[in-house]
Structure 1
Amino acid sequence: MFHNTFQSGLLSVLYSIGSKPLQIWDKKVRNGHIKRINDEDIQSLIIEILGTNVSTTYISCPLDPKKTLGIKLPYLVMIIKNMKKYFTFEVQILDDKGVKRRFRASNFQSNTRVKPFICTMPMRLDEGWNQIQFNLADFTKRAYGTAYVETLRIQIHANCRIRRIYFADRLYSEDELPAEFKLYLPIKSGIQGAGSSPTSDDDPTVATASAFCTLIF
């Protein structure tokens, strides 16, 4: 999909506020739902993926299973809400040996397992909204001793809420990110949440989310 696109900085593949946020995503639903709703915490539209079985309700990109993303940027960043239910996501990459590898992170797994074509690992989410930062190049090197070339496909399973998913050439500080890439939490009664700070002198009614997910390797 992005093979012929100049890639630098930030490359977004899902933004919940867009007119067609799932345009390049395939959707699979069994005993659950995938829909856009308003989140009460951030008071904005998000994508909700809920299902009784995490393996049967998910979204995947690209839409065409025969195509690949071709994204060479090494950092995957996802702004995800912890629904206090089972949740998993999967990333398929290509390494410099020409081998397709999958990384699967789950909040219901306790140990990291590395097999020839798939690495599964535990994930700890804080309460509420989280920013998941996945260093694909580092994980590829540590798990397989090879170099990351590109991301082929990503799959986000139930149960979660999604604000944005994007790739980056490096990790950006909060001050460096464009406003639309930040997650704003309304400040109630003028009291900020822990670890939050006003994002603008012009708007004292919002604070940025500061919780980060931990991938355990």
Structure 2
Amino acid sequence: MFKNTFQSGFLSILYSLGSKPLQIWDKEVVDGHVKRCHDDEIQSNVLEVVGANIQSTYITCPADLSATLGIKLPFLVLVVKNMKKYFSFEIQILDDKNVRRRFRASNFQSVTRVKPYICTMPLKMDDGWNQIQLNLADLTRRAYGTNYAETLRVQIHANCRLRRIYFADRLYSEEELPPEFKLYLPVQQKA
């Protein structure tokens, strides 16, 4: 999808305030929902992914299952709310040996397991809103001893609320982020 796009700075793949937040995503919903709703804590619209079974309710990008993202930016950032329920997400990458590998983070797992094609990791989240930052280049190197080439797919399973998912060329401080990438939008001053 983005393979032939110049990539630097930030590349957003989901923004809850956009006119069509799931435009490049597909969704699978069994006994749950994926919908936009208002979050009282941040006074803003967010995307809610909720399901009785985390395996059967998720969103996946790109929507076309035969397509890949082709994103080379090595940092993935998810702005996500802890719903105090089971939650997981999965990133599929391609390494420099041309091997597809997956990283799955979940809040119900306690140890990291590295298998040839999947690395499962525990996810510790604070109450409320979290900014989850993954250094995919470092994860690939530490888990497999290979180099990160690109991200192929992102899949977010129930249960969470999402504000934004984006890739970056490096980690940015809060002051460096564009206003629309911050969790709390600046309050407009009335003249």
Please say whether Structure 1 and Structure 2 have the same fold, judged by a TM-score greater than 0.5.
yes
Letter in 2 for 1:16: S
For residues 104-129 of structure 1, give each alpha carbon's deviation from its aligned partner in whole angstroms, at most 9, with x where no partner exists: 00000001000000000100000000
Aligned position for 1:119: 119
Runs of 4+ in 1 over 2 A off after TM superposition: none
Mapped to 2, the partners of 1:7 and 1:118 lie a distance apart of 26
Aligned position for 1:39: 39
Mapped to 2, the partners of 1:15 and 1:99 lie a distance apart of 30
Listed as ranges, the matches of 1:41-190 within 5 Å are 41-184=41-184
State the Cα RMSD in Å: 1.2
Mapped to 2, the partners of 1:119 and 1:172 lie a distance apart of 26
Aligned position for 1:211: none
Mapped to 1, the partners of 2:184 and 2:24 lie a distance apart of 25
Mapped to 2, the partners of 1:171 and 1:16 lie a distance apart of 21
Mapped to 2, the partners of 1:112 and 1:18 lie a distance apart of 35
Structure 1 residue 39, shift from structure 2 partner: 0.4
Letter in 1 for 2:101: R
For residues 144-174 of structure 1, give each alpha carbon's deviation from its aligned partner in whole angstroms, at most 9, with x where no partner exists: 0000000000000000000000000000011
For residues 174-209 of structure 1, give each alpha carbon's deviation from its aligned partner in whole angstroms, at most 9, with x where no partner exists: 111000000118xxxxxxxxxxxxx68x76xxxxxx
For residues 22-57 of structure 1, give each alpha carbon's deviation from its aligned partner in whole angstroms, at most 9, with x where no partner exists: 000000000000000000101110000000000000
Q: Partner of 1:7: helix, strand, or coil? A: coil
Which runs of 5 or more residues in structure 2 are unaligned?
none
Mapped to 2, the partners of 1:39 and 1:56 lie a distance apart of 24
Mapped to 2, the partners of 1:151 and 1:79 lie a distance apart of 18
Mapped to 1, the partners of 2:174 and 2:129 lie a distance apart of 15
Mapped to 2, the partners of 1:49 and 1:109 lie a distance apart of 20
Total equivalences in the alignment: 189
**Normalising by the residue count of structure 1, what TM-score does the alignment of the two structures yield?**
0.85
Larger Rg computed on CA atoms:
1
Mapped to 2, the partners of 1:121 and 1:70 lie a distance apart of 23
Q: Partner of 1:138: helix, strand, or coil? A: helix
Q: Partner of 1:180: helix, strand, or coil? A: helix
Listed as ranges, the matches of 1:21-32 within 5 Å are 21-32=21-32
Structure 1 residue 81, shift from structure 2 partner: 0.2
Structure 1 residue 2, shift from structure 2 partner: 0.1
**Normalising by the residue count of structure 2, what TM-score does the alignment of the two structures yield?**
0.97
Q: Partner of 1:124: helix, strand, or coil? A: coil
Letter in 2 for 1:125: M
Which runs of 5 or more residues in structure 1 are unaligned?
186-198, 204-217
